[in-house]
Amino acid sequence: MLSFAGIAEGVENSNYLLRTDRANYILTLYEKRVNKDDLPFFIGLMQHLSQAGLNCPVPVADKSGQILQKLCGRPAAIVTFLDGTSQRFPNAAKCRALGRALAEFHTTSEGFDGVRENALGPKGWSPLLASIDGDLPEMPDEILALAANSLDIILKNWPSDLPAGHIHADMFPNNVLFVGDELTGIIDFYFACQDLYAYDIAVCLNSWCFDADGSFNVTKSGALLHGYEQVRGLTQSEKDALLILNQGAALRFFLTRLYDWINTPANALVKPLNPMEFWSRLRFHQHAKGPESYGLWR
């Protein structure tokens, strides 16, 4: 070992950059939100994807062949380090590359036989909202009542018959690495599960296509969607469902951020993200007109 340092990104697990005289690695300690029973699924998915040629971390086994370990009282694992950097507000070229990579993830993972329900999918949003109580510092009045009303509308209109399979479910810009505009890797598979492919697209539209001033960038969204369709074509039903799927994805991240806003310890290395960023994105989707609002024509 040459050096060892904490990485101040992400809010779910504790990550460390481990430099050795052979190569660099990432050490992850899995924190309480990650169910240790799900870890074999995540490890197996990364192994499957890397063997199929997708650029993602490769889990590293010890001399006895075991990948999952225990460190500091938590489950832990080491994976290979990928070159590249992430960008909070990617350009259209990166969005197009992300669209292609997301579709490749969906098609490549079809051969993986692991099973995991989306614990933070629509069925989990009502219990999550109910768990948020106490003081909500710096939040608007009646925000919980407004969220409950939005959730009711979303759940009543949520599609159930769209193409589905393994999804990443958290492919934010900080989980995709680039050298220039070339995508060099996808990381952080610890929300991966089985759900609607188009919901995974909605997560990306919410996290990649809003600019620093909060405005939606239809050029970026169009590039992302057309990049996706270069690999896997969307059905008409998927296109028509984008409005409600985008609302659901925005609300999901608003709720988890709001929960972290009031539950993250004050001395934590990683500070909680402001949930109102995703509230404003939800409001945008509630006023959008259809697939054309995202640069995708019927």
Higher pLDDT, 129 or 34: 129
* pLDDT tens per residue across span 89-120: 999 999 999 999 999 999 999 999 999 999 99
Q: Tokens for 78?
A: 């080491």
pLDDT band at 269; cut points 50, 70, 90: low
pLDDT at 268: 67
Whether pLDDT at 298 is above 70:
no
Q: What is the chain's mean pLDDT, rounded? A: 93
Residues 6+ apart with CB under 8 A from 266: none
186 forms beta bridges with: 176
Domains and CATH numbers, the chain: 3-80 (3.30.200.20), 92-294 (3.90.1200.10)
> What sign has the CA pseudo-torsion 26, 40, 49, 230?
negative
Q: Residue range 62-75: average pLDDT?
A: 95
| Over residues 4-21, mean pLDDT | 85
Contacts of 275 (CB under 8 A, 6+ apart): 139, 253, 254, 255, 257, 258, 261
pLDDT band for position 270 (cuts 50, 70, 90):
low
Residue 2 has pLDDT above 60, yes or no: yes
Return d(Cα 115, Cα 41) in angstroms, integer: 7
Q: What pLDDT does 137 receive? A: 74
Tell me what the mean pLDDT of segment 249-268 comes to.
86
* 210 close to 184: Cβ distance less than 8 angstroms: no
Cβ-based neighbours of 297, under 8 Å, separated by 6 or more: 291
pLDDT digits (tens, 9 = 90+) for 175-231: 999 999 999 999 999 999 999 999 999 999 999 999 999 999 999 999 999 999 999
Average pLDDT rounded to a whole number, residues 79-85: 94
pLDDT of residue 135: 72
Q: pLDDT band at 140, cuts 50/70/90?
A: confident
DSSP per residue, the chain: --EEEE----SSSEEEEEE-SS-EEEEEE--TTS-GGGHHHHHHHHHHHHHTT-----B---TTS---EEETTEEEEEEE----B--SS--HHHHHHHHHHHHHHHHHGGG-----B-TTSHHHHHHHHHT--S--TTPPTTHHHHHHHHHHHHHHT---SS-EEEE-S---GGGEEEETTEEEEE---TT-EEEEHHHHHHHHHHHHSB-TTS-B-HHHHHHHHHHHHTTSPPPHHHHHTHHHHHHHHHHHHHHHHHHHHHHS-TT-SSPPPPTHHHHHHHHHHHH--SGGGGT---
pLDDT at 43: 95
pLDDT for residue 63: 95
